């Protein structure tokens, strides 16, 4: 694989860049929020990002795209090359037949650009609001995942499980990408890396660098043991603001990040609790930057941060949040412009 120089003292592999988005409440009308994100998607498409990954949440301001398929269908019509998908679909929240059909439609509408993220869902409160038992959703997820893959690859679905049963159900729609679109999974600890590594599933972690390295090392070790090539993507997600100067970027980040954090904690605090990963999202931007999971600065500052992060984590895919909190559309578009023009090419992208 070729190498490129980002900084005189740091050499990094060629890599891909994507986008991660919670689409959290920015304090503007939600119709305006959706329209702005579609403009950003057009900018991501023009700029050569590999994929746009959208989180799914319900009844909380951290995720206003509570039906990600609807937004992604619109995004498909606003873009030409950008790949996209949920990170992740909360499988227990869907009837499997409904989700199979939605996945097929999104892949067909986009000409085969869907990236299929799957997961259980991490919020017991969102789960309870859907009348689901959080203690059972892990088992539900595993069954639903089997049903999903079987349905996407078959002309007829038969399945006999604890939660789902189907008898010779016709599968009329099929995805463009056979047997199914590329799969994605979020990982936060090394022991969770075995399954995606063994099943050719791409992974993303939002954890600090020192926690990510053991995850990716184990992921690669499992693949080597099974004789699998290093062909999957291992991504990290980071809060990023790029501006013409460090001072300008920091001013935006210091304002926008607390709004995002308030949205992230909102539902848990409403119930008198805190998210399991609360420790990686401290109260202000300086503290989260000190953990190595955020950067705000000029293109040069951001380039050096990414090079160090890639060196520390072993990532070959980098997915910034380039819109979060109360960042204005203009601020986010400028951040995208600078990132694509002055950051990505230093890593051999585009």
Tens of pLDDT along 267-308?
A: 999 999 888 888 899 999 999 999 999 999 999 999 999 999
Residues 214/187, Cβ–Cβ less than 8 Å: no
**Residue range 307-335, pLDDT digits in tens:** 999 999 999 999 999 999 999 999 999 99
Residue-number span of the structural domain to which 29 is assigned: 3-347
CATH at residue 101: 3.20.20.30
- The answer to whether the beta carbons of residues 43 and 341 sit under 8 Å apart is no
Q: What is the pLDDT of residue 350?
A: 52
Total of domains in the chain: 1
pLDDT at 105: 98
Q: Per-residue pLDDT tens, the chain, 350 aa: give them.
A: 333 334 433 434 578 999 999 999 999 999 999 999 999 999 999 999 999 999 999 999 999 999 999 999 999 999 999 999 999 999 999 999 999 999 999 999 999 999 999 999 999 999 999 999 999 999 999 999 999 999 999 999 999 999 999 999 999 999 999 999 999 999 999 999 999 999 999 999 999 999 999 999 999 999 999 999 999 999 999 999 999 999 999 999 999 999 999 999 999 999 998 888 888 999 999 999 999 999 999 999 999 999 999 999 999 999 999 999 999 999 999 999 999 999 999 998 65
């Amino acid at each position: 694989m070729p190498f490129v120089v980002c900084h005189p003292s740091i050499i990094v592999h060629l890599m891909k860049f994507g986008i991660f988005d919670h689409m959290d409440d920015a304090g503007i009308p939600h119709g305006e929020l959706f329209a702005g994100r579609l403009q950003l998607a057009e900018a991501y498409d023009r700029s050569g990002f590999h994929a746009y990954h959208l989180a799914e949440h319900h009844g909380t301001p951290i995720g206003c795209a509570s039906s990600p398929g609807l937004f992604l269908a619109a995004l498909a019509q606003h873009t030409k090359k950008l790949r996209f998908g949920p990170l992740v679909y909360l499988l227990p929240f869907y009837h499997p037949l409904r989700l199979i059909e939605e996945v097929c439609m999104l892949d067909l509408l986009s000409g085969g650009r869907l990236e299929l993220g799957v997961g259980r869902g991490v919020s017991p409160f969102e789960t309870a609001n859907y009348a689901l038992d959080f203690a059972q959703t892990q088992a539900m997820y595993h069954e639903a995942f089997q049903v999903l893959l079987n349905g996407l690859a078959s002309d007829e679905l038969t399945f006999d499980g604890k939660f789902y049963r189907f008898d010779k159900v016709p599968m009329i729609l099929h995805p463009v990408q056979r047997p199914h679109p590329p799969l994605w999974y979020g990982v936060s600890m090394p022991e969770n890396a075995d399954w995606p590594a063994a099943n050719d599933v791409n992974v993303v972690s939002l954890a600090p660098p020192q926690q990510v390295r053991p995850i990716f090392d184990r992921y690669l070790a499992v693949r080597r043991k099974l004789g699998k090539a290093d062909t999957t993507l291992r991504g990290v997600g980071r809060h990023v603001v790029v501006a013409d100067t460090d001072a300008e970027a920091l001013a935006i980040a210091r304002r926008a990040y607390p709004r995002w954090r308030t949205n992230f904690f909102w539902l848990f605090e409403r119930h008198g609790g805190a998210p399991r990963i609360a420790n990686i999202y401290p109260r202000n931007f300086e503290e989260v930057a000190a953990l190595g999971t955020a950067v705000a600065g000029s293109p040069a500052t951001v380039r050096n941060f990414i090079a160090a992060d890639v060196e520390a984590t072993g990532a070959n895919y980098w997915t910034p949040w380039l819109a979060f909190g109360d960042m204005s559309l203009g601020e986010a578009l400028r951040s995208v412009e600078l990132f694509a023009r002055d950051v990505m090419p230093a890593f051999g992208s585009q």
